[in-house]
Amino acid sequence: MPALVVVGLQWGDEGKGRVIHSLARHAHAVARYQGGNNAGHTLVLGPNDILALHLVPSGIVYPKVHCYIGNGVVVDPKSLKQEIEMLTQRGVKVRGRCWVSPLSHVILPYHLQLERYLGEGSRLGTTQRGIGPSYRDKIARAGIRIIDYLDDEIFKERALANIQELLTPFAKPEEIRVIENQTLSDRQSLAPFLKTIARDVSIELHAALKKGRRVILESAQGTFLDVDFGTYPYVTSSNPVAGYAPCGVGIGPQAIEVVLGIAKLFTTRVGEGPFPTEIQDDLAAQIRETGHEYGATTGRPRRIGWLDLPLLRKACRINGVNRLALTKLDTLSGLSKIQVCVGYSLNGRILKELPDGLRALKEALPVYRELPGFTGDLTSVTRYADLPKQAKRLIDLTLDYCQTPAAIISVGRRPQNQIILDRTFCRTWM
Ligand code: IMP
């Protein structure tokens, strides 16, 4: 059985965790391939039982699924330990089934401090988890991988050199000393923990795929936060796109059979940056409340906008999406009208493709097609035929525009609140 990549097609928070929750039950493994604890994957386990995961793959809720954190992920050891402890306290057995690649780079206290000094939180709206500074060290060939973290000499030499070099322009020597001491004492307590969970993810996944087992590759963030394809510089520092998935876990691209693109039937974004279909009136507040649109990591209210079809179509192309999962149809129920962006107007011209330039992205005005709204509680609908006519119109327009078939439409927060459109896909993967 080959691999399936779950990738977000907007600016993150599309419902990837929720879709993996319904897919992973019979998978052999779920592996995260990029990002870090900037991610927040929310799983609704019961009426009042919500689990927010930041680093541990969403498959962890199923006792037989192996969970891997790949080399493409940046790992804050303290945060990973806390998440594993939280899961253990909640009765999830993590021991012996959650592993991290020794090639993953770590996030250290100086990364968090550097992000503060650089003002990236306010300038870019980052999650302030040290993600950018850790990836910066990796690309600059000065980073510390888990394998280096476990080597006393290499760790000390590199960490102390980096702290001096990177913090000296911003901090007094006594402040730098505090960070140095914290870094060394953290490592003292965290290295034994990391040692117990470090495993060669590439070897493990390769063996699983060879035996024909199902492997899900889980992205964080979304296509338009991708450092290459996103709304640069308002992006994260990694590559959430599906093309990076094999690289981020150490398998070959030929293993990937399905690229499942996840898209919400409206759009949200957290943090700064252009967002052509953003709405700011009472309607935005209504959608935010109905859809629980608050960041799972930072609690920030998400910016709200209408569905942007050219953006979605571009994401399908970049990722090679061959199945779609459309989420949160239920959130739109009760609106009298629904706007769907089908192009942009820029300096008197109509664009059919989302532009790349920052100025064009900021100035492009959406061209909308207005659809009538629909009403009713959709959460128990399990057949496409039973959806309101106007809801079907929205879905049909989306699929037609993207020229990609849908496998799943989600109509509620629980894994069972969904309509299966592609039975063959679901028989294979669920
Ligand atoms: P960073 O990843 O913390 O460096 O933040 C860079 C940008 O990505 C900011 O706009 C964040 O709000 C956004 N971002 C990072 N992780 C997520 C996520 O999981 N969901 C949505 N936005 C995210």
Residue 159 Cα to ligand 1 middle (Å): 25
Per-residue pLDDT of 299-331, as tens digits, reads 899 999 999 999 999 999 999 999 999 999 999
The pLDDT assigned to 48 comes to 85
Active site residue 137: no
Per-residue pLDDT of 398-422, as tens digits, reads 999 999 999 999 999 888 899 999 9
CB atoms within 10 A of CB 182: 14
Per-residue pLDDT of 152-161, as tens digits, reads 999 999 999 9
Residue 351 Cα to ligand 1 middle (Å): 27
Percent of the chain past pLDDT 70, that is, above it, reads: 100
- At 1, the pLDDT band (50, 70, 90 cuts) reads low
Q: Are 106 and 138 in contact (CB under 8 A)?
A: no
Mean pLDDT of 178-194: 97
Ligand 1, atom 5: closest residue by C-alpha: 126
CB atoms within 10 A of CB 407: 25
- At 80, the pLDDT band (50, 70, 90 cuts) reads very high
Say which range, 61-65, 190-194, 334-338, 424-428, has the weakest mean pLDDT. 424-428
Please state, in angstroms and rounded to a whole number, the distance separating the CA atoms of residues 53 and 108.
Answer: 20
Longest dimension (CA), the chain: 68
Please state the separation of Cα 429 from the chain's center in Å: 20
Say which range, 80-89, 141-150, 292-301, 346-355, has the weakest mean pLDDT. 292-301
- At 26, the pLDDT band (50, 70, 90 cuts) reads confident
- Ligand 1 atom with minimal separation from the 300 CA: 12
Please state, in angstroms and rounded to a whole number, the distance separating the CA atoms of residues 354 and 369.
Answer: 16
Q: Which of 21, 41, 66, 105 is catalytic?
A: 41
Q: Which CATH superfamily is domain 105-197 in?
A: Adenylosuccinate Synthetase, subunit A, domain 2 (1.10.300.10)
Least Cα distance to 51 among 60, 42, 59 occurs for: 42
Domain spans of the chain? Answer: 3-86+201-429, 105-197
Per-residue pLDDT of 338-366, as tens digits, reads 999 999 999 999 999 999 999 999 999 99
Q: Which of 13, 76, 137, 308 is catalytic?
A: 13
Q: Which fold has domain 3-86+201-429?
A: Adenylosuccinate Synthetase; Chain A, domain 3 (3.90.170)
Ligand 1, atom 2: closest residue by C-alpha: 236
Identical fold, 3-86+201-429 and 105-197:
no
Per-residue pLDDT of 364-380, as tens digits, reads 999 999 999 999 999 99
Is-cis flag, bond preceding 77, omega within 30?
A: no
Please state, in angstroms and rounded to a whole number, the distance separating the CA atoms of residues 399 and 232.
Answer: 27
For all residues of the chain together, what is the average pLDDT? Answer: 96
Q: Are 7 and 242 in contact (CB under 8 A)?
A: yes
Write the CB contacts of 92 (distance below 8 Å, at least 6 apart in sequence).
60, 61
Residue 15 Cα to ligand 1 middle (Å): 15
Please state, in angstroms and rounded to a whole number, the distance separating the CA atoms of residues 270 and 298.
Answer: 10
Mean pLDDT of 187-196: 97
CA atoms within 13 A on the CB side of 43: 19
Please state, in angstroms and rounded to a whole number, the distance separating the CA atoms of residues 29 and 387.
Answer: 34
Mean pLDDT of 227-238: 97
Per-residue pLDDT of 259-299, as tens digits, reads 999 999 999 999 999 999 999 989 999 999 999 999 888 88
Active site residue 13: yes
- Ligand 1 pocket test: which of 37, 73, 118, 221 has the largest number of ligand atoms within 8 Å of its C-beta? 221
Q: Above 90 in pLDDT, residue 430?
A: no
How close are the terminal C-alpha atoms of the chain, in Å?
13
Report field, pTM of the whole predicted structure over 0.75: yes
